[in-house]
Structure 1
Amino acid sequence: MSSPAPEIFKAYDIRGIVGKSLTVETVQAIGQALGSEAVERGLKAIVIGRDGRLSGPDFASALAAGITSTGIDVIDVGCVATPITYFAAWHLDTQSCVSITGSHNPPEYNGLKMVLGGQTLFGELIQDLRRRIVEGRLVQAVAPGKVTHSDVRQAYIERILSDVKLARPMKIVLDSGNGVAGNTAPELYKRLGCELTELFSEVDGNFPNHHPDPSKPENLEDVIHALKNGDAEIGLAFDGDGDRLGVVTKDGEIIYPDRQLMLFAADVLSRVPGGQIIYDVKCTRNLAAWVRKHGGEPVMWNTGHALVKAKLKETGAPLAGEMSGHMFFKERWYGFDDGLYTGVRLLEILSRSPDANAVLKALPDAISTPELNIKMKEGEPVQLVEKLKAGGKFAGEVERITIDGLRVEFADGFGLARSSNTTPVVVLRFEADSEAAIARIQAGFRKALEAVWPGIQLPF
């Protein structure tokens, strides 16, 4: 085939526009490259699952054809949430899987999230697949692998229910956003002991009601409305492929993932004293003090679900989370990001209190901005952040953290500028103890950014 479009090989996954940059032919070639890599690693089988996008079935067939052409077997688990595909890799003992998913991207997108031998593929490992295809380093087996089908959804639900119990029944709003979580989450939560107000459980790759991205407040409006007009005590919302969770209180407050992580950290540390809690550079500065207060060791790390997963594996930490909504429970679970399971663990904690709202609202909070993006040309975000690291001066700076971009800590807040790994933007985030402090920190960043990149257009 002709060389695949280089821009689909992203930092954490493969992703492109269906029929344009991501075609059936391309997916089959990627399958053969993955199978070739699996042969070299001595692996025998790869699990395939797919989300509810309309292109999923064709891509699953093409991927299976590519993988089996190398002699590697495929176990197709059908249309399931990405975390259920990850679970299947454990449950069926392949340690390898591919989820065909466009995650929270618009309907015309699709992509691949890949795990081989327990290792999430990211960065150079993804680029290596492209190089294999371009250079023709592909295995062609004499005897192709075989394709079998397996439905692991009941095994997934049973595994969770064997371990997690609610202290009391709960009434919840559950919004699947027409994403793939809708074919499993309602049954899971009903069997857990919840009475549901269901929103958009029907899997529909056109996403006719709202975009399935709970990190954006506008996508939680239906949940807020249902909570206001019903008797449910909390709202949960999933992204398109079910690996991220949004949480809304009875009175309509969004509990962002860095605050959710506080609740999970306190719970996990009660059973794993001294454990490390990993979180990304975008998270609140309240987290470190909270983790220490509960007897744990806070570890700030790079943004990116694959990078956080790798750090979790390296450290043996019991829990990790990032601001985008990916949560990773190693304690009592497998360490992969799973929005359905995260919601179950949240309800387990909240069910111990008669007032779930009060528990969530008592978590430390701060004044913060959402993610702000500076759109730039390809390659420019990295240059800007490097210039800011080298030349940026900030009055009142207490500490600068450079593991992922530049995070400047002040006595009363922080400012962050980092280059996105997925799109050509610089991501900014600010947090402070008061409106005056956040305005001062933003003014300092504005001055520094304008000094190192004259004429820059800022979103604040």
Structure 2
Amino acid sequence: MDQTWFKLQNGSDVRGVALEGVEGEAVNLTPEIVRPIGYAFAQWLAEKKGKPVSELKIAVGHDSRLSAEMVKTAVFQGVEKAGCSEIADSGLSSTPAMFMATVFDNHAYDGSIMLTASHLPFNRNGLKFFTRDGGLEKADIKAILTTATETGTFDEVELSKVRKIELMDDYAASLVSNIRKGAGQGDTPLAGLKIVVDAGNGAGGYFVDKVLKPLGADTTGSQFLDPDGSFPNHIPNPEEPEAMDAIISAVENNKADLGIIFDTDVDRAGAVDKNGKPINRNRFIALMSTIVLEEHPGTVIVTDSVTSTGLKYWIEEKLGGVHHRFKRGYKNVINESIRLNGEDRESWLAMETSGHGALKENYFLDDGAYQIAKILIKTAQLHGEGKGGVDTLVDGLPEPAEAKEYRAKITTEDFGPYGDDVLKAFEQFVADEPGWNATPNNFEGVHVTVDASAGNGWALLRKSLHDPVLPLNIESEEAGGVAKIAARMQAFLSQFDSLDVPEMV
């Protein structure tokens, strides 16, 4: 079978290079390749829904990427060739809104497609697919790409069924309604608060005019709201120090009560408190856990595998919840939370340190704007009660003295089995190493707890979800502890000929 389409699968998404401009990255997401994917999604959706393609309605939206119009037109042509009854163009949109296109009563599309490559460079693009049941799984993407392969390329198709819709207006209005209802302080619960937004020139600029201003907030100092897929100011990514520095500066320069930052397609978010301290990674999960556990005492909070020891204390000892540290990958944590609910183990929140997060009350949708809405409700309530900002909710969160991530590249072509061999050898290494013990209830890679004599922290060695890499995360409760642990890790990893190990000490 032609592997052209299968090489575009990135877990539960499709991603590729849509534009030239980066040395060594050949374009592989062309209109000729995209058309059969649009066609194949319509075929898959018809089978999923159990009705003819001719009765299907599909919505398509995109973020600010430079290749958006080109890719969107190709998707439209594929869907039109399939024979769908209606194709909706929602224009500049967020990923969460594209899911809601299948849910809102005045839209109720059978399926939707979001064109995005998240925070990746300007030359990339991709496709995310949704039905009312949520985002597609890996097996679904494989099935769609199989049909695309069997269909093969075809010529341009004249478009006759595409119509414009104002989906983002409806989505923003739903956020405003939720915040007003949750805050319980009238139409302008954010009056008297200065809140700045950094959209990173992605799709999140709408949040200022369509959400914050109607709620009464002063948004003076918000920045990079205009969509620009060249990302001229910084990459829209709440994990990137440069991006966080930008929103920190905006908060400090404007004496804001809260700063908000979104990634390109607004399925991830981060924040900055009034003191200029970031609310991302473990601190973001701690804040969301505090809010959710107040509403649902004792619930299970599912996180990825690299969360801190302090976060576990915060969720379980401070808040009385249950911390279930699972695997990296937003679909992994979401699906695990759904699985626990299916076993009658109540779980209302699934979050990654990357900023991906989903709540049971919101269809387990990976939605950065909805998380921020929850934070804004609490911000309004605290302000109305004269109790300060949301930073007070995470006062006392234990944070590690040091934390570091390293990435060892696997240089052999058959990198999956090789990574497994390294992890198996590491298990034995841990068993023989003084002061090191395998951490119980671990679900990804090899997690080790290191006692005070050997570094006072932990290390996690795992396989990357998609790349020929072994990420290594190390955290320590003491200054110099990471170096102690890293020195032993470097000694272990350096014995493997097909590992390109970075300098750690």
Structure 2 length-normalised TM: 0.82
Rounded Cα–Cα distance in structure 1 between residues aligned with 2:160 and 2:443: 42
1:4 and 2:29 aligned: no
The amino acid of 1:26's aligned partner reads I
3-state DSSP class of the match of 1:423? coil
The amino acid of 1:87's aligned partner reads M
1:191 and 2:214 aligned: yes
Residues 153 and 119 of structure 1, relative CA distance in 2, 3 Å threshold: closer
The amino acid of 2:333's aligned partner reads V
3-state DSSP class of the match of 1:324? coil
CA apart distance, 1:160? 1.9
The amino acid of 2:449's aligned partner reads E
1:285 and 2:312 aligned: no
Match of 1:51 in 2: 63
The equivalences for 1:58-457 within 5 A come to 58-72=70-84, 73-91=86-104, 92-94=107-109, 96-136=111-151, 146-165=161-180, 166=183, 169=191, 170-196=193-219, 197-293=221-317, 294-316=319-341, 317-331=347-361, 333-351=362-380, 352=382, 353-377=387-411, 379=413, 382-392=416-426, 393-394=429-430, 395=433, 396-400=435-439, 403-411=443-451, 412-453=456-497, 456-457=500-501
3-state DSSP class of the match of 1:270? helix
The amino acid of 1:390's aligned partner reads K
Which shows bigger deviation, 420-429 or 81-90? 420-429
Unaligned runs of 5+ in 1: 139-143
Kept in 2: contact 1:64–1:74 (CA 8 A): yes
1:39 and 2:46 aligned: yes
Rounded Cα–Cα distance in structure 1 between residues aligned with 2:375 and 2:164: 32
The amino acid of 1:52's aligned partner reads S
3-state DSSP class of the match of 2:473? strand
3-state DSSP class of the match of 1:228? helix
Rounded Cα–Cα distance in structure 2 between residues aligned with 1:318 and 1:378: 41
Kept in 2: contact 1:381–1:419 (CA 8 A): no
CA apart distance, 1:326? 0.5
3-state DSSP class of the match of 2:87? strand
Rounded Cα–Cα distance in structure 1 between residues aligned with 2:394 and 2:464: 30
Kept in 1: contact 2:349–2:359 (CA 8 A): yes
Rounded Cα–Cα distance in structure 2 between residues aligned with 1:264 and 1:168: 19
Kept in 2: contact 1:321–1:327 (CA 8 A): yes
Unaligned runs of 5+ in 2: 20-26, 154-158, 184-188, 342-346
The amino acid of 1:413's aligned partner reads G
Rounded Cα–Cα distance in structure 1 between residues aligned with 2:137 and 2:413: 19
Could you list the runs of 4 or more consecutive aligned residues of structure 1 that deviate by over 6 angstroms after TM superposition?
none
CA apart distance, 1:381? 5.0
Tell me the alpha carbon deviations over residues 236-263 of structure 1, each in whole angstroms, 9 at most, x when there is no partner. Answer: 1111111111222334332322221112
CA apart distance, 1:2? 7.3
The amino acid of 2:100's aligned partner reads F
CA apart distance, 1:117? 4.8
Residues 455 and 204 of structure 1, relative CA distance in 2, 3 Å threshold: closer
3-state DSSP class of the match of 2:226? coil
Bigger Rg over Cα: 2
Rounded Cα–Cα distance in structure 2 between residues aligned with 1:459 and 1:7: 32
CA-based RMSD of the aligned residues comes to 2.7
Rounded Cα–Cα distance in structure 2 between residues aligned with 1:390 and 1:258: 29
Kept in 2: contact 1:54–1:205 (CA 8 A): yes
Rounded Cα–Cα distance in structure 2 between residues aligned with 1:407 and 1:378: 24
Rounded Cα–Cα distance in structure 2 between residues aligned with 1:459 and 1:71: 56
3-state DSSP class of the match of 1:363? coil
The amino acid of 1:70's aligned partner reads A
Rounded Cα–Cα distance in structure 2 between residues aligned with 1:297 and 1:74: 44
CA apart distance, 1:315? 2.8
The amino acid of 1:132's aligned partner reads T
Rounded Cα–Cα distance in structure 2 between residues aligned with 1:32 and 1:367: 52
Rounded Cα–Cα distance in structure 2 between residues aligned with 1:210 and 1:94: 34
Residues 115 and 145 of structure 1, relative CA distance in 2, 3 Å threshold: farther
Rounded Cα–Cα distance in structure 2 between residues aligned with 1:182 and 1:168: 18
Rounded Cα–Cα distance in structure 1 between residues aligned with 2:355 and 2:110: 24
Q: Taking every aligned residue pair, what percent have the same amino acid on both sides?
A: 28
Structure 1 length-normalised TM: 0.90
Match of 2:32 in 1: 25
Match of 2:156 in 1: none
Rounded Cα–Cα distance in structure 2 between residues aligned with 1:226 and 1:119: 35
Rounded Cα–Cα distance in structure 2 between residues aligned with 1:407 and 1:311: 19
Kept in 2: contact 1:326–1:338 (CA 8 A): yes
CA apart distance, 1:122? 3.5
Kept in 2: contact 1:385–1:417 (CA 8 A): no
Rounded Cα–Cα distance in structure 1 between residues aligned with 2:269 and 2:399: 19
Provide the aligned length of Structure 1 versus Structure 2: 454
Rounded Cα–Cα distance in structure 1 between residues aligned with 2:335 and 2:178: 25
CA apart distance, 1:50? 0.7
3-state DSSP class of the match of 2:420? helix
CA apart distance, 1:56? 1.1
Tell me the alpha carbon deviations over residues 2-39 of structure 1, each in whole angstroms, 9 at most, x when there is no partner. Answer: 76354321113111111511001111111111111111
Rounded Cα–Cα distance in structure 1 between residues aligned with 2:297 and 2:388: 26
Tell me the alpha carbon deviations over residues 158-204 of structure 1, each in whole angstroms, 9 at most, x when there is no partner. Answer: 22222224565421221001111113444212223321121011111
3-state DSSP class of the match of 1:178? coil
